[in-house]
Amino acid sequence: MTASVVIYRGADEALSLHGVAAKKGRQPKFEDLNLIKKPVFITDDHQILFIGSEDEDWSSVLKNKEAHQVTLSGGLLLPGFVEAHTHLVHGGDRKDEFEMRIAGKSYEEIAQAGGGIASTLKKTREATQSELLESSQKSLDFFKSQGVVCCEVKSGYGLNLEDEIKILKVIERLEGTHCVSTFLGLHSLPSEFTTFDEYTNFVCTEVLPKVQAETLCRRADIFVDRGYFELAHLKQLSNTIKKMGWDLTLHGDQLSAQGASLWGAQNGAKSVDHAVHLSDEELKKIAKSEAVIMALPGADFYLDLAYPRVRELIDHGGKVALATDFNPGSSPTQNIDFIGLLARLKMKMSLAEVLAAYTYNAASALGLENKYGSLEVGKSANAIHFEAGLTDLFYDGSQKKLQHLGELK
């Protein structure tokens, strides 16, 4: 029988991010990454027993347990990445719309012509659960190959009871990486309904109770923006899921200022995502809140829009996370190194801030900061080992060779 205790040695360096966790992800500096030279990483039954240097007395933590030793070939050891905003489960693609955007069509104009979410909705409804599972598993496996140990996955391309549940059941069947399901039934207005009010009532009274009864998720999202849902719909959703004991997150203020991000931050949302169009006063208040600000620069890049004011949000104490927003239309990339590169170039984030954003703060956005996001005793042993060095990360947009350590069964 293989020993449950595993000792990893041989890496050049490790980052525990203990300091980032101690600061709750606010204003992370290089010293908060806690760089360890010649690290020793010890796990027991997929939990961390020890993280420190060869010079420390680490043998005492073994307590006469049989241990298996793994020798790493140099490189860097750090917490696994958390991808906290994706639309992973969808049918088809929207490659044709990219040429339309190049020709000058806006996101809203494409949607009004039957493209956008409506196009993916049709293809997703037509796909079987098995077809969606096959394509989604490939996408999830690609995230894992980049060091992702936890991935948030939204519904939102069904927009009726049957197909929203179909998507959530696909998420439930995904393997190899811990997936967090989010209900995004309030993504757009399906053609079966004439008003957003009517559809929101249907979702809150008919769909959500059935999703809860099947215990398919415990989080809900909504797209609040010009031409989509309004602040009143966000409040209605929040009131509904609060009674259910669910967490709230939201797409807000991406295309225009709606006040959704501030309302969410002040009313218990785990994260406020996009948050591009903020007033100075809103920005300062959101930065002081407990909500994580989820920056999605891939969408801003592909839509050629303004980027969120992340530099100011961090400087005012905001907890900023990063994610790909992987979806078939506005952000078709799964490349997290590219997302980090955009964050550094376009939002002036330091390397330490990017690392904190893709680990501890992303985990916080999902309410999983006690499990993921830093290498500390008692937390999940989902670490990753790069053959590359620290300064190679989030630099050239290329995938780095890595291996997962201490994976969950």
Q: What's this model's pTM, rounded to 2 decimal places? A: 0.95
**Do residues 148 and 260 both lie within one domain?**
yes
**Do residues 15 and 94 both lie within one domain?**
no
Q: Which residues lie below 8 Å from residue 76, measured CB to CB, with a gap of 6+? A: 11, 12, 13, 14, 15, 385, 386, 388, 389, 390, 393
Q: What is the distance between the alpha carbons of residues 253 and 278, in angstroms, rounded to a whole number? A: 7
User: What's the pLDDT at 117?
Assistant: 83
pLDDT tens-digit readout, 10-35: 999 999 999 999 999 999 999 999 99
**Do residues 251 and 361 both lie within one domain?**
yes
Q: Is the pLDDT of residue 407 over 70?
A: no
| pLDDT average, residue stretch 26-47 | 96
**Do residues 166 and 39 both lie within one domain?**
no
Q: Mean pLDDT for the chain?
A: 94
* Helices and strands: H and E segment counts in the chain: 16, 17
**Side by side, which strands form the sheet with 76-79?**
35-37, 13-15, 76-79, 383-386, 402-405
* φ/ψ of residue 154, rounded to 5: -100, 155
pLDDT tens-digit readout, 147-156: 999 999 999 9
Q: What is the distance between the alpha carbons of residues 260 and 273, in angstroms, rounded to a whole number? A: 10
**Do residues 69 and 129 both lie within one domain?**
no
| pLDDT average, residue stretch 235-253 | 98
CATH number of the domain residue 66 falls in: 2.30.40.10
**Do residues 26 and 88 both lie within one domain?**
no
**Do residues 189 and 334 both lie within one domain?**
yes
Using DSSP, state whether 270 is helix, strand or coil.
coil
Using DSSP, state whether 178 is helix, strand or coil.
strand
User: What's the pLDDT at 409?
Assistant: 40
pLDDT tens-digit readout, 79-133: 999 999 999 999 977 777 777 677 777 767 776 666 678 889 999 999 999 999 9
* Segment (H or E) for 149: strand 148-154
**Do residues 20 and 93 both lie within one domain?**
no
Nearest by Cα to 117 from 281, 329, 282, 314: 329
Q: How many residues appear in the chain?
A: 409
Evaluate whether 374 touches 33 at the Cβ level (below 8 Å).
no
Tokens of 254: 């991406």
CATH number of the domain residue 268 falls in: 3.20.20.140
**Do residues 332 and 249 both lie within one domain?**
yes
**Do residues 141 and 189 both lie within one domain?**
yes
Which DSSP state fits 30?
G
- The residue range of the domain holding 31 is 5-80+373-405
User: What's the pLDDT at 2?
Assistant: 59
- How far apart are the two ends of the chain, measured CA to CA in Å? 15
| pLDDT average, residue stretch 62-75 | 91
Evaluate whether 384 touches 92 at the Cβ level (below 8 Å).
no
pLDDT tens-digit readout, 182-207: 999 999 999 999 999 999 999 999 99
- Strand pairing class (383-386; 402-405): antiparallel
**Do residues 184 and 46 both lie within one domain?**
no
Q: Which residues lie below 8 Å from residue 189, measured CB to CB, with a gap of 6+? A: 195, 196, 199, 228
Which one is predicted more confidently, 118 or 365? Answer: 365
Exposed, middle or buried: residue 396 (CB in 10 Å: 0-12, 13-18, 19+)? exposed
Nearest by Cα to 229 from 268, 265, 190, 182: 190
Q: Is the pLDDT of residue 178 over 90?
A: yes
Q: Is the pLDDT of residue 340 over 70?
A: yes
**Do residues 151 and 62 both lie within one domain?**
no
Number of domains in the chain: 2
Buried-exposed string 232-267: b where 16+ CB fall within 10 A, e elsewhere = ebbebbbebbeeeebbbbbbbbbbebbbbbbbbbee
User: What's the pLDDT at 1?
Assistant: 47
